[in-house]
Amino acid sequence: MTTPATPSAPKSAGDSPNLVAVDEAYTALTFEDRLRIFWQKNGKTVLALLVVALVAILAKGGWDYMEANKEQDIGHAYTEAGTPDKLQAFAAAHADHVLAAVAKLRIADEAYAAGKSNEAISGYEQAIAALKSGPLVSRAKLGLAMAKLQAGKTADGTAALQQLAYDTTEPKGTRVEASYQLASLASVAGKADDVRKYSQQVMQIDPSSPWTQRVFMLQANLPAAEPAATSAASGIKLPAVGK
Protein backbone atom coordinates (compact mmCIF):
# COMPACT_ATOMS: atom_id res chain seq x y z
CA MET A 1 0.00 0.00 0.00
CA THR A 2 1.49 3.19 -1.03
CA THR A 3 1.64 6.13 1.24
CA PRO A 4 -0.27 9.10 -0.11
CA ALA A 5 1.82 12.02 -0.99
CA THR A 6 1.82 14.77 1.55
CA PRO A 7 -0.06 17.69 0.08
CA SER A 8 1.84 20.85 -0.36
CA ALA A 9 1.17 23.58 2.17
CA PRO A 10 -1.06 26.29 0.69
CA LYS A 11 0.65 29.50 -0.11
CA SER A 12 -0.36 32.54 1.86
CA ALA A 13 -1.73 35.62 0.13
CA GLY A 14 1.51 37.32 0.87
CA ASP A 15 3.33 34.73 -1.13
CA SER A 16 1.34 35.52 -4.29
CA PRO A 17 3.74 37.14 -6.72
CA ASN A 18 0.84 38.70 -8.67
CA LEU A 19 -0.67 40.45 -5.62
CA VAL A 20 2.67 41.76 -4.56
CA ALA A 21 3.24 43.10 -8.03
CA VAL A 22 -0.13 44.90 -8.13
CA ASP A 23 0.22 46.41 -4.64
CA GLU A 24 3.71 47.55 -5.25
CA ALA A 25 2.76 48.91 -8.67
CA TYR A 26 -0.20 50.96 -7.27
CA THR A 27 1.85 52.20 -4.35
CA ALA A 28 4.49 53.38 -6.73
CA LEU A 29 2.00 55.48 -8.71
CA THR A 30 2.33 59.22 -8.52
CA PHE A 31 -0.60 61.49 -7.57
CA GLU A 32 -1.02 62.45 -11.18
CA ASP A 33 -1.23 58.81 -12.20
CA ARG A 34 -3.90 58.13 -9.58
CA LEU A 35 -5.90 61.08 -10.83
CA ARG A 36 -5.66 59.74 -14.34
CA ILE A 37 -6.92 56.33 -13.20
CA PHE A 38 -9.77 57.96 -11.29
CA TRP A 39 -10.89 59.92 -14.34
CA GLN A 40 -10.63 56.84 -16.51
CA LYS A 41 -13.04 55.04 -14.17
CA ASN A 42 -15.35 57.92 -13.15
CA GLY A 43 -14.93 60.58 -15.80
CA LYS A 44 -18.23 59.93 -17.54
CA THR A 45 -20.21 60.05 -14.30
CA VAL A 46 -18.59 63.29 -13.17
CA LEU A 47 -19.07 64.85 -16.58
CA ALA A 48 -22.74 63.94 -16.56
CA LEU A 49 -23.19 65.60 -13.16
CA LEU A 50 -21.41 68.72 -14.38
CA VAL A 51 -23.63 68.87 -17.44
CA VAL A 52 -26.75 68.65 -15.26
CA ALA A 53 -25.48 71.43 -12.97
CA LEU A 54 -24.56 73.61 -15.95
CA VAL A 55 -27.97 73.14 -17.53
CA ALA A 56 -29.60 74.13 -14.24
CA ILE A 57 -27.46 77.28 -13.98
CA LEU A 58 -28.14 78.24 -17.58
CA ALA A 59 -31.86 77.61 -17.13
CA LYS A 60 -31.94 79.84 -14.05
CA GLY A 61 -29.99 82.56 -15.83
CA GLY A 62 -32.14 82.25 -18.91
CA TRP A 63 -35.32 82.48 -16.85
CA ASP A 64 -34.06 85.58 -15.06
CA TYR A 65 -33.08 87.11 -18.38
CA MET A 66 -36.49 86.37 -19.87
CA GLU A 67 -38.25 87.81 -16.81
CA ALA A 68 -36.13 90.96 -16.97
CA ASN A 69 -36.97 91.40 -20.65
CA LYS A 70 -40.63 90.78 -19.91
CA GLU A 71 -40.67 93.46 -17.19
CA GLN A 72 -38.94 95.88 -19.55
CA ASP A 73 -41.52 95.21 -22.25
CA ILE A 74 -44.41 95.72 -19.81
CA GLY A 75 -42.91 98.96 -18.57
CA HIS A 76 -42.49 100.19 -22.12
CA ALA A 77 -46.08 99.27 -22.96
CA TYR A 78 -47.31 101.17 -19.92
CA THR A 79 -45.31 104.24 -20.93
CA GLU A 80 -46.79 104.11 -24.42
CA ALA A 81 -50.37 103.92 -23.10
CA GLY A 82 -51.13 107.62 -23.31
CA THR A 83 -54.92 107.57 -23.64
CA PRO A 84 -57.71 106.10 -21.48
CA ASP A 85 -58.49 103.51 -24.16
CA LYS A 86 -54.87 102.39 -24.34
CA LEU A 87 -54.67 102.30 -20.55
CA GLN A 88 -57.78 100.13 -20.47
CA ALA A 89 -56.23 97.78 -23.01
CA PHE A 90 -52.97 97.68 -21.05
CA ALA A 91 -54.76 96.91 -17.78
CA ALA A 92 -56.71 94.10 -19.44
CA ALA A 93 -53.59 92.60 -21.04
CA HIS A 94 -51.56 92.68 -17.80
CA ALA A 95 -54.27 92.23 -15.20
CA ASP A 96 -51.97 90.58 -12.65
CA HIS A 97 -49.22 93.20 -12.88
CA VAL A 98 -48.96 96.11 -10.44
CA LEU A 99 -48.81 98.55 -13.35
CA ALA A 100 -52.33 97.47 -14.33
CA ALA A 101 -53.54 98.84 -10.98
CA VAL A 102 -51.61 102.06 -11.59
CA ALA A 103 -53.20 102.28 -15.03
CA LYS A 104 -56.65 102.01 -13.44
CA LEU A 105 -55.76 104.86 -11.09
CA ARG A 106 -54.74 107.01 -14.06
CA ILE A 107 -57.99 106.16 -15.85
CA ALA A 108 -59.96 107.24 -12.78
CA ASP A 109 -57.99 110.49 -12.49
CA GLU A 110 -58.65 111.35 -16.11
CA ALA A 111 -62.35 110.55 -15.72
CA TYR A 112 -62.52 112.85 -12.68
CA ALA A 113 -60.71 115.63 -14.55
CA ALA A 114 -63.20 115.26 -17.41
CA GLY A 115 -66.14 115.52 -15.00
CA LYS A 116 -67.17 111.89 -15.56
CA SER A 117 -67.98 111.28 -11.93
CA ASN A 118 -69.49 107.81 -12.14
CA GLU A 119 -66.63 106.53 -14.29
CA ALA A 120 -64.17 108.05 -11.83
CA ILE A 121 -65.89 106.38 -8.87
CA SER A 122 -65.78 103.00 -10.61
CA GLY A 123 -62.15 103.51 -11.61
CA TYR A 124 -61.00 104.47 -8.14
CA GLU A 125 -62.81 101.49 -6.62
CA GLN A 126 -61.11 99.16 -9.10
CA ALA A 127 -57.73 100.75 -8.38
CA ILE A 128 -58.17 100.34 -4.62
CA ALA A 129 -59.10 96.66 -5.03
CA ALA A 130 -56.11 96.03 -7.33
CA LEU A 131 -53.49 97.98 -5.34
CA LYS A 132 -54.52 96.49 -1.96
CA SER A 133 -51.90 98.41 0.05
CA GLY A 134 -49.34 101.19 -0.17
CA PRO A 135 -49.42 104.97 -0.61
CA LEU A 136 -51.23 104.76 -3.94
CA VAL A 137 -54.20 103.19 -2.16
CA SER A 138 -54.54 106.31 0.00
CA ARG A 139 -54.26 108.41 -3.14
CA ALA A 140 -57.07 106.38 -4.72
CA LYS A 141 -59.22 106.68 -1.58
CA LEU A 142 -58.86 110.45 -1.68
CA GLY A 143 -59.78 110.46 -5.36
CA LEU A 144 -62.82 108.31 -4.62
CA ALA A 145 -64.02 110.74 -1.94
CA MET A 146 -63.63 113.70 -4.30
CA ALA A 147 -65.40 111.84 -7.13
CA LYS A 148 -68.35 111.17 -4.84
CA LEU A 149 -68.54 114.87 -4.02
CA GLN A 150 -68.35 115.66 -7.73
CA ALA A 151 -71.22 113.25 -8.35
CA GLY A 152 -73.37 115.06 -5.78
CA LYS A 153 -73.00 112.36 -3.16
CA THR A 154 -72.05 114.93 -0.55
CA ALA A 155 -72.70 112.88 2.56
CA ASP A 156 -70.69 109.90 1.27
CA GLY A 157 -67.83 112.07 0.05
CA THR A 158 -67.66 114.05 3.29
CA ALA A 159 -67.68 110.86 5.38
CA ALA A 160 -64.85 109.42 3.26
CA LEU A 161 -62.79 112.60 3.71
CA GLN A 162 -63.36 112.56 7.47
CA GLN A 163 -62.22 108.96 7.67
CA LEU A 164 -59.00 109.81 5.83
CA ALA A 165 -58.38 112.99 7.84
CA TYR A 166 -58.59 111.29 11.22
CA ASP A 167 -57.00 107.93 10.39
CA THR A 168 -53.45 108.12 11.77
CA THR A 169 -52.41 105.08 9.73
CA GLU A 170 -52.89 107.04 6.51
CA PRO A 171 -49.97 109.02 5.03
CA LYS A 172 -49.65 112.54 6.38
CA GLY A 173 -50.03 114.10 2.94
CA THR A 174 -53.35 112.35 2.38
CA ARG A 175 -54.66 113.32 5.82
CA VAL A 176 -53.76 116.98 5.49
CA GLU A 177 -55.30 117.29 2.02
CA ALA A 178 -58.50 115.58 3.20
CA SER A 179 -58.68 118.01 6.14
CA TYR A 180 -58.27 120.98 3.82
CA GLN A 181 -61.02 119.71 1.53
CA LEU A 182 -63.31 119.42 4.56
CA ALA A 183 -62.46 123.00 5.57
CA SER A 184 -63.16 124.15 2.02
CA LEU A 185 -66.54 122.41 1.99
CA ALA A 186 -67.40 124.00 5.32
CA SER A 187 -66.42 127.41 3.94
CA VAL A 188 -68.74 127.00 0.94
CA ALA A 189 -71.53 125.93 3.27
CA GLY A 190 -70.93 128.94 5.52
CA LYS A 191 -70.05 126.77 8.54
CA ALA A 192 -67.43 128.93 10.20
CA ASP A 193 -66.93 126.65 13.18
CA ASP A 194 -66.18 123.70 10.92
CA VAL A 195 -63.78 125.81 8.90
CA ARG A 196 -61.85 126.59 12.06
CA LYS A 197 -61.98 122.99 13.25
CA TYR A 198 -60.62 121.49 10.04
CA SER A 199 -58.10 124.30 9.64
CA GLN A 200 -56.77 123.43 13.07
CA GLN A 201 -56.60 119.80 11.98
CA VAL A 202 -54.48 120.78 8.98
CA MET A 203 -52.05 122.72 11.16
CA GLN A 204 -51.80 119.88 13.67
CA ILE A 205 -51.01 117.29 11.01
CA ASP A 206 -48.40 119.33 9.12
CA PRO A 207 -47.92 123.03 9.89
CA SER A 208 -45.38 123.35 7.06
CA SER A 209 -47.74 121.95 4.43
CA PRO A 210 -48.83 124.16 1.49
CA TRP A 211 -52.40 123.36 2.58
CA THR A 212 -51.76 125.34 5.76
CA GLN A 213 -51.46 128.56 3.75
CA ARG A 214 -54.74 127.77 2.05
CA VAL A 215 -56.63 127.27 5.31
CA PHE A 216 -55.27 130.60 6.51
CA MET A 217 -56.93 132.17 3.47
CA LEU A 218 -60.18 130.35 4.23
CA GLN A 219 -60.13 131.65 7.78
CA ALA A 220 -59.34 135.18 6.61
CA ASN A 221 -62.52 135.16 4.56
CA LEU A 222 -64.70 134.13 7.47
CA PRO A 223 -67.22 136.72 8.68
CA ALA A 224 -66.37 138.44 11.92
CA ALA A 225 -67.50 136.45 14.94
CA GLU A 226 -70.57 137.79 16.63
CA PRO A 227 -70.11 138.94 20.26
CA ALA A 228 -70.98 136.29 22.81
CA ALA A 229 -73.25 138.69 24.71
CA THR A 230 -74.92 141.99 23.91
CA SER A 231 -75.04 145.12 26.07
CA ALA A 232 -77.78 145.86 28.57
CA ALA A 233 -79.31 148.24 26.02
CA SER A 234 -80.37 145.27 23.97
CA GLY A 235 -82.75 144.25 26.69
CA ILE A 236 -80.90 140.98 27.39
CA LYS A 237 -79.50 140.57 30.86
CA LEU A 238 -75.79 139.77 30.84
CA PRO A 239 -74.56 137.07 33.21
CA ALA A 240 -72.81 138.30 36.30
CA VAL A 241 -69.06 138.01 36.32
CA GLY A 242 -67.92 134.92 38.12
CA LYS A 243 -71.26 133.14 37.84
Residue 47 domain-assigned (yes or no)? yes
Cβ contacts of residue 160 below 8 Å, gap of 6+? 141, 144, 145, 148
Structural domain containing residue 123: 81-152
120 lies in the same domain as 140: yes
- Report if residue 67 sits inside a domain: yes
Can you give the pTM of this predicted structure? 0.61
Instruction: For residue 194, tell me if it sits in a domain.
Output: yes
206 and 144 within one domain: no
Average confidence (pLDDT) per 10 residues, the chain, 243 residues: 48 46 51 59 59 56 51 65 71 70 84 92 92 85 94 96 95 93 93 93 92 89 61 40 38
Domain-located, residue 16: no
Number of domains in the chain: 3
pLDDT at position 22 is 46
Q: Are residues 164 and 102 in the same domain?
A: no
Residue 43 pLDDT: 56
Q: What distances in angstroms separate CA 88 from CA 80, 97, 114, 116, one per listed residue?
A: 12, 13, 16, 16
Q: What's the confidence (pLDDT) of residue 134?
A: 80
92 & 137 share domain: yes
Task: Indicate whether 174 and 216 sit together in one domain.
Answer: yes
